Amino acid sequence: MEGLIHVDTHVLVWLYSGEVERFPAEAQGHLEASRVVASPMAVLELQYLHEIKRISEPAARVVQDLSARIGLEIDDVSFSELVANAEQLAFTRDPFDRLIVAHATLREATLLTADKALLKAYPRAVWTRARRS
């Protein structure tokens, strides 16, 4: 049975743009061996990044492309349940990071992220052992 791995927003951006060299072997292994899912909050953050011109494509296009290429799924969860879980996480004031971690926590899922704050805050976050300080 394949595992489930949540991915953060930067992972979605790098996957979409084909920047596979950014992924260490450990991260690539998780992507290849797992069902890849993202929180709707990561999708909203993609749209924000598009609106402020940090990425060129709207979120819907990124998600559609990644769904076709790698089978990306958007993991639906009760928003009130997500917010209630996020209220317990005080590691950051960034609402996107907080809700993305809360979502992975609700699913008891591994979270693939290169974000040092998320790696430190969420025990099931992975990238590489070297980045986990």
* pLDDT surpasses 80 at 18: yes
Distances (CA, A) of 39 to 2, 35, 45, 101, 133: 19, 13, 10, 9, 25
pLDDT at 12: 97
21 and 124 in contact (C-beta within 8 Å)?
no
Position 45 scores a pLDDT of 96
pTM: 0.90
d(CA 119, CA 92): 12
Q: Smallest Cα–Cα separation from 63: which of 50, 53, 54, 52?
A: 50
Q: Which fold has domain 3-128?
A: Rossmann fold (3.40.50)
Task: Answer whether residue 89 shows pLDDT above 80.
Answer: yes
What are the pLDDT digits (tens) for 55-76? 999 999 999 999 999 999 999 9
